Structure 1
Amino acid sequence: MSKLRDAIYGFAVADALGVPFEFKERGSFCCKDMVGFGTWNKEAGTWSDDTSMTIATCKSIKDKGYIDIDDIRKNFKEWLFNGEFTADGEVFDVGTTTREALQLNRGLSDFYSNGNGSLMRILPIAFIDASDEKIEEVSSITHAHEISRKACVDYVHIARKLISGEKLNLENKSMDEVKSTGFVLHTLDASLWCILNTDNYKDAVLKAVNLGDDTDTTAAVTGGLAGIIYGYNAIPREWIEKLKNKKLIEGCLF
């Protein structure tokens, strides 16, 4: 079974796990299992824009065999405007920067356009031969500020190290120091903290959701790395079974 499949399922399951709890304050809830409804009133197993844009990127790489920025953008537009690459045909939870960038056909480069909307979809690039410059180009489809571009490069480098079997060697923090907002550096930092402070897939992604606020993206970014580390078989079987539209996910893998 491929590491890409491990990563994408790890990502999608964690995304779905976090969807019902998005925007909830840390400590106001406790996620223990994959449930439905909540914030977005979606059935259990429904994944969000994070997975949609990630598999849209995968599908472009599968179709083209290389990174084609225009084709990736085309897939993103098919998702945003036509409901393609979704769990149930409905688009929800779209970031302001992402929507505006796709409407304008250019990435936004102001400081306030440093949400986690490119970090959350960059994982597939770790599985192909792409330079840092190319990684930044993929980020810049929507998020063109240097902070977002560099965060994507850092995440891809970390993912590649994990793919090769290396372990994370980063300075740890206390939970109080970890923020889980939509700011790209907070998401990257929080996901790494969750990996560092757990030793299995389930605990890593539950810890990410329970940090609160941007629960689906923090969990998804964590889950992608945890999928690489622990593999598909480490993901709870009942969560895989609940996951929506697995046929679409499978069809996008390269």
Structure 2
Amino acid sequence: MYVKKSKNKYTGCMLGAAIGDALGKQNEGLSRKEIPHRVTDYGKTPERRPGGKLRAGQYTDDTEQMVILSQSLIECGRLDVDDFAGRIARWGAEAQLDPVRKSLIGPSSSVAIAQLNSGVSWKESGSDIPSCGSAMRVAPIGLFYKKLDDVESNAALSSLPTHNSKMAIAGAVAVAIGVRCALEDMDCSDIIKETGIRASKYDKGIAENIELSFVKRDAEPDKVFAELGTSYLVYETVPSAFYCFSRHFEEPEEAMIEAVNAGGDTDSIACITGALCGARHGVEAFPERWINGLENKEIIEHLAEMIFEASASV
């Protein structure tokens, strides 16, 4: 029974991230006030906006990078940063040739990919822009490693090829630690406490904002999102995701809808929220219409199962 429950939570985490990404892309780039209607299901993004060329239920680069990290972990049996950086570089070079996918890659990743493909070492290729690219993809680290020290150190390392600012590293550590703690069925307050302790080693500001997101969990979303911010900057995106998670800790579907309609970088906020909710509640966190409507869901489910099996030997 324990094994079945654990595998279910691994799958829930991976599916949750992809579902949040695919749902959230519909409102990406809009302020909270500009969102025309409250999104609760997949739909077509208007052509003029980011993701406008994608189909309903299709995810963005947030999930694509999570898939790449998952594949590297599975095939290497650990985080091999050389391997992961090489995969990111190849993926980025291919994506840059596709007008649709090119437009979805964030500024930090774009700079880093160019560096990597020009021969720069992953130790020096990362951008110092404090964006959320390494945080949105990091959930598999929290699944793969069981000890929190290992989760923290490997989450930090996984950020470096594309995002080497202290804020970005702190954001990646926070999400990976949050996922692992959620898997272990910790109370929300304990998840936030552990996340804050670990993230504060790299950037105290993000840790404080994550803790604030919990303190403000009963406050109205309009006020909290305005205070925390919802842009692509990691010190806004990650705390806003933790706010959605904390506010609706026992109502994962509501947490996702809150994130999808936060405004700003909604695909990343919802991607992170989905990973946390899925790790806590398993696949049952999400309605069947979201699971069945997700493009390539079988790929995500297969990767989650393989990570679960590979993590048993770590």
* The two structures share one fold, judged by TM-score above 0.5: yes
Q: Deviations over 1:26-79 (max 9, x none)?
A: 022221222123232221101001100001100111111111111112222232
Q: Which of 144, 154, 157 is 1:128 aligned to? A: 144
Count of residues in correspondence between the two structures: 249
Q: Does 1:93 align with 2:104?
A: yes
Q: Does 1:69 align with 2:85?
A: no
Q: Does 1:144 align with 2:164?
A: yes
SS of 1:248's partner is helix
Task: Specify the alignment match of 1:172 in structure 2.
Answer: 215
1:151: how far off?
A: 2.0
CA distance in 1, matches of 2:298, 2:185: 29
Amino acid at match of 1:74: G
CA distance in 2, matches of 1:21, 1:204: 16
SS of 1:144's partner is coil
Is the alpha carbon distance of 1:141 and 1:246 closer, same or farther for their aligned partners in structure 2, counting shifts above 3 Å? same
Q: Does 1:186 align with 2:236?
A: yes
Q: 2:93–2:113: 8 Å Cα contact kept in structure 1? A: no
Instruction: Give unmatched runs, 5+ long, in structure 1.
Output: none
Identity of aligned residues (%): 26
| Structure of higher CA gyration radius | 2
SS of 1:141's partner is coil
Q: Deviations over 1:62-114 (max 9, x none)?
A: 1111111111122222322225xx9xx9454101110111221243353xx10
CA distance in 1, matches of 2:68, 2:77: 14
Q: 1:200–1:230: 8 Å Cα contact kept in structure 2? A: no
1:115: how far off?
A: 0.5
1:179: how far off?
A: 1.4
1:252: how far off?
A: 3.1
Q: Does 1:44 align with 2:70?
A: no
Q: Which moved more, 1:61-70 or 1:36-45?
A: 36-45
Q: Deviations over 1:200-249 (max 9, x none)?
A: 22111110011101010000011100111221122111111111112332
Task: Specify the alignment match of 1:213 in structure 2.
Answer: 264
Amino acid at match of 1:250: E
CA distance in 2, matches of 1:91, 1:200: 35
Amino acid at match of 2:75: D
Task: Specify the alignment match of 1:154 in structure 2.
Answer: 174
TM-score between both structures, scaled by the size of structure 2? 0.74
Alignment of 1:18-33 (within 5 A): 18-29=24-35, 30-33=38-41
Task: Specify the alignment match of 2:135 in structure 1.
Answer: 119
TM-score between both structures, scaled by the size of structure 1? 0.91
Q: Which of 205, 221, 227 is 2:278 aligned to? A: 227
The structure whose residues are more often helix, as a share, is: 2
Instruction: Give unmatched runs, 5+ long, in structure 2.
Output: 117-121, 193-213, 308-314
Amino acid at match of 2:105: V
Q: 1:59–1:252: 8 Å Cα contact kept in structure 2? A: yes
Q: Which moved more, 1:157-166 or 1:27-36?
A: 27-36
Q: Which of 237, 242, 247 is 2:298 aligned to? A: 247
CA distance in 2, matches of 1:109, 1:37: 29
CA distance in 2, matches of 1:66, 1:144: 20
Q: Deviations over 1:137-170 (max 9, x none)?
A: 1111110011111222222222211111102215
Q: CA RMSD in A?
A: 2.1
Is the alpha carbon distance of 1:45 and 1:131 closer, same or farther for their aligned partners in structure 2, counting shifts above 3 Å? closer
Q: 2:15–2:297: 8 Å Cα contact kept in structure 1? A: no
1:182: how far off?
A: 0.7
Q: 1:49–1:91: 8 Å Cα contact kept in structure 2? A: no
Amino acid at match of 1:195: F
Q: Deviations over 1:121-142 (max 9, x none)?
A: 1111112233533321111111
